[in-house]
Structure 1
Amino acid sequence: MLTVGDKFPDFKLTAVKAGKEGLGGPGKSFTEITESTDAGKWKVVFFWPKDFTFICPTEIAAFGKLAGEFADRDAVLYGVSTDSEFVHLNWRVHNEDIKNLEIPMLADVKRELSTALGILDKAAGVPLRATFIVDPDHTIQWASVNGLNVGRNPQEVLRVLDALQTDELCPCNWTKGEEALKPQELFDKAA
């Protein structure tokens, strides 16, 4: 699996557009997204195993509720599974929790991005619940993976993004607005 310090792979995927405009039908609902889309921004790319399942919509909806907070931090959210853009669109139409999702849903149908990242479950052949925070230079700054049966915590992803953007030393459970560690002050106290 690719991890911190690795370049996020180049990709070109079809996505169901974010927001209500994404539900306009096949001719109006799709857009192409590449690694260069939203250039200069932080990217949070999260994967789920399959559409029309039970845990996935809870995570996707939770990320959706935080979309504005990620945007406030100059970050974009991309949700990805190996289902097609048509399946994504149908799922959104029929699931109230994600119908007006402010996050594009990318279709990695050929499993090229999932394979390049090394996140396909060996037995099921679908992506694990992987999350990547990628800086504006396309370098992975944080990677987390859960098994197929355990949902992740989007609030924790936001907390980690906040910490990464400080470019400081952030202690355990640090949250935005708290002081970062100052090594010299720690050395002075110890002396």
Structure 2
Amino acid sequence: MSLIGSEVKPFAAKAYHNGDFIDVTEENFKGKWSVVCFYPADFTFVCPTELEDLQNEYATLKELGAEVYSVSTDTHFTHKAWHDHSEAISKIEYVMIGDPSQKLSRNFDVLNEEEGLADRGTFIIDPDGIIQTVEVNAGGIGRDASTVVSKLRAAQYVRTNPGEVCPAKWEEGSATLKPSLDLVGKI
């Protein structure tokens, strides 16, 4: 069943953020745009490259009014240790959520039950707490955070411009489409 258009389910988790441990719930995903990035595990190989790339886009995502959350089934304590010992992860300024109960990973349908780890899932959530985009990759396929920026811009445009849609490779300021009978079979 698709998660697109569904509201984020209730959860409570501990997270590591800028030297502190904080509490995070589904309420944190409301009132602003949110990007939630699940990954398999701390102290691994592809994961730090993705999270560092996400940090490289963090300022742009913040300018667009979004907060970023990374999530793995590790604890918030493990996130801190990784942050303290990895050159790539030490750069991270966004919230790193621990999900040792695996509830959040189950809620977003990215838990690999056999391994007890989250798949590589990226979700963009609107200010109402509704999931607007879902991307899930196999474990060996890293993600490109610049595509998250593009998808966020498109989701924001569609939200503020009802009746318009963004075609493939849409960039901010370029033409959109207005679905109508006149367009059927002409694109």
- Shift of residue 41, structure 1, vs aligned partner: 0.3
- 2:173 counterpart letter in structure 1: G
Q: Which amino acid aligns with 1:117?
A: F
8 Å CA contact retained: 1:2, 1:117 = no
1:68-147 matches, within 5 Å, as: 68-147=59-138
Secondary structure at the aligned position of 1:99 is classed as helix
Within 2, Cα distance between the matches of 1:39 and 1:7? 10
* Structure 1 residue aligned with 2:169: 173
TM-score normalised according to structure 1 size: 0.87
Give how far 1:2 is off.
4.8
Separation of aligned partners in 1, 2:139 and 2:87: 23
In structure 2, give the amino acid aligned to 1:112: K
**What letter is aligned with 2:170?**
W
The alpha carbon displacement at 1:179 in A equals 1.9
In structure 1, distance between residues paired with 2:76 and 2:2: 25
Query: Deviation of residue 126 (structure 1)?
Result: 0.5
Instruction: Report the alpha carbon displacement of residue 152 of structure 1 after superposing the two structures with TM.
Output: 1.1
Q: Counterpart amino acid of 2:101? A: K
Report SS of the residue matched to 2:89.
coil
Q: Which amino acid aligns with 2:166?
A: C
Give the whole-Å Cα distance in 2 for the aligned partners of 1:2 and 1:86. Answer: 32
Distance change (3 Å), C-alpha of 1:183 and 1:110:
closer
Q: Kindly report the root-mean-square deviation, in angstroms, between the aligned alpha carbons of the 2 structures.
A: 1.9
1:122: how far off? Answer: 3.5
2:29 and 2:125 in contact (8 A); partners too? no
Q: How does 1:59-70 map to 2 (within 5 A)?
A: 59-70=50-61
Give CA-to-partner distance per residue, 1:94-141, whole Å, 9 cap, x none: 111121311110001100111122211133121000011111111111
- 4+ aligned runs moved over 6 Å, structure 1: none
1:162 matches 2:158: no
CA–CA separation in structure 1 for the residues paired with 2:179 and 2:139: 39
Letter of the 1:127 counterpart: A
CA distance in 2, matches of 1:39, 1:119: 21
**Structure 1's 2 and 16: CA in aligned 2 closer, same or farther, altered over 3 A?**
farther
Figure out how many residues of one structure are paired with residues of the other and give that number.
Answer: 180
Letter paired with 1:173: K
Relative to structure 1, is the Cα distance of residues 99 and 142 closer, same or farther in structure 2, using a 3 angstrom cutoff?
Answer: same
Specify every segment of 5 or more residues in structure 2 that has no aligned partner in the other structure, as ranges: 159-163
Secondary structure class of the residue paired with 2:166: coil
The alignment-based identity, stated in percent, is 38
- The residue aligned with 2:14 is 14
1:12–1:33: 8 Å Cα contact kept in structure 2? Answer: yes
